[in-house]
């Protein structure tokens, strides 16, 4: 699908990190962008810088998501691009000091990363399904999800996060199959370690040591490199039903 002037896109988690980079890339290519995020200050500031829109949406709350889509579509029309970037981390072992994993933490990570992505994707697809195709392939939309290499090589303490990201990997192909007859593609990116605010709080030493674990190039990924891949997924209509690792060949060790 071409990113033409005014093509409407929504990016969840668009106020920061990978989502912010996607918003900048798509906006730079001419798209109208709407950011869904709980961070109102950053979201509003970026939306106004890009001439886009911001809607305060909590992806854990279905009513908030529905109102978000209503507001985004009223502002910029039906989106043909939806990018799921909202997500949280959190570390805890399955059993720690004799106690089982905190249920509330597990629940919050699954709700935000997995159920939040699913709810946004399915609601976006339902709107796309009502729209006119945008090209001769009959394409109506592209949905991009964000998993993580933790879906495949989850480290010690990452059981909740890896479960949430593994769920995103698992839903990619069936969702693409479900939506194929509607002309909607679904692709998931599984990033390695990217330098976003999620990691910027770590010391230079830890950042360097994380970067050194990457076979090549030996550094952390840049958010614009994630955004480039998101753009390629949108523009290359043969990409569908796939999970793409974007990780410099890193395979995470157990710890």
Residues of span 1-30 touching ligand NAD by CB under 6 A: 12-13, 15-19
Contact present, 39 and 62 (Cβ < 8 Å): no
146 binds ligand NAD (CB under 6 A): yes
Which residue is catalytic, options 36, 82, 161, 226? Answer: 161
Least Å distance, CB 104 to ligand NAD, is: 14
Single out the residue of 172, 151, 159, 147 nearest to residue 240, CA to CA.
172
85 binds ligand NAD (CB under 6 A): yes
Least Å distance, CB 199 to ligand NAD, is: 6
82 binds ligand NAD (CB under 6 A): no
227 binds ligand NAD (CB under 6 A): no
226 is catalytic: no
Single out the residue of 156, 234, 229 nearest to residue 194, CA to CA.
229
Single out the residue of 60, 187, 151 nearest to residue 113, CA to CA.
60
Least Å distance, CB 98 to ligand NAD, is: 29
Per CB under 6 A, residues contacting ligand NAD are 12-13, 15-19, 37-39, 57-60, 85-88, 112-113, 146, 148, 191, 193-194, 196-199
């Amino acid at each position: 699908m071409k990113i033409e002037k005014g093509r409407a896109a929504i990016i969840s988690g668009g106020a920061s990190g990978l989502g912010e980079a996607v918003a900048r890339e798509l906006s730079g290519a001419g798209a109208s962008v709407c950011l869904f995020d709980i961070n109102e200050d950053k979201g509003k500031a970026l939306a106004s810088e890009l001439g886009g829109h911001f809607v305060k949406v909590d992806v854990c709350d279905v009513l908030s998501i529905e109102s978000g889509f209503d507001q985004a579509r009223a502002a910029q029309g039906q989106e043909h691009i939806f990018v799921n970037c909202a997500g949280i981390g959190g570390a805890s072992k399955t059993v720690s000091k004799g106690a089982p994993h905190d249920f509330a933490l597990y629940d919050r990570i699954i709700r935000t990363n997995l159920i939040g992505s699913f709810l946004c994707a399915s609601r976006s697809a339902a709107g796309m399904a009502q729209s006119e195709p945008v090209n001769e392939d009959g394409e109506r939309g592209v949905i991009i999800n964000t998993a993580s290499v933790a879906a495949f090589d989850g480290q010690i303490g990452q059981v909740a996060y890896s479960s949430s990201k593994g769920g995103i990997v698992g839903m990619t192909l069936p969702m693409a199959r479900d939506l194929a007859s509607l002309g909607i593609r679904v692709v998931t990116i599984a990033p390695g370690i990217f330098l976003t605010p999620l990691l910027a709080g770590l010391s230079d030493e830890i950042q360097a040591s994380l970067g050194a674990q990457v076979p090549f190039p030996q550094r952390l990924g840049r958010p614009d490199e994630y955004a480039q891949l998101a753009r390629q997924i949108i523009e290359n209509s043969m990409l569908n039903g796939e999970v793409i690792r974007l990780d410099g060949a890193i395979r995470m060790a157990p710890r």
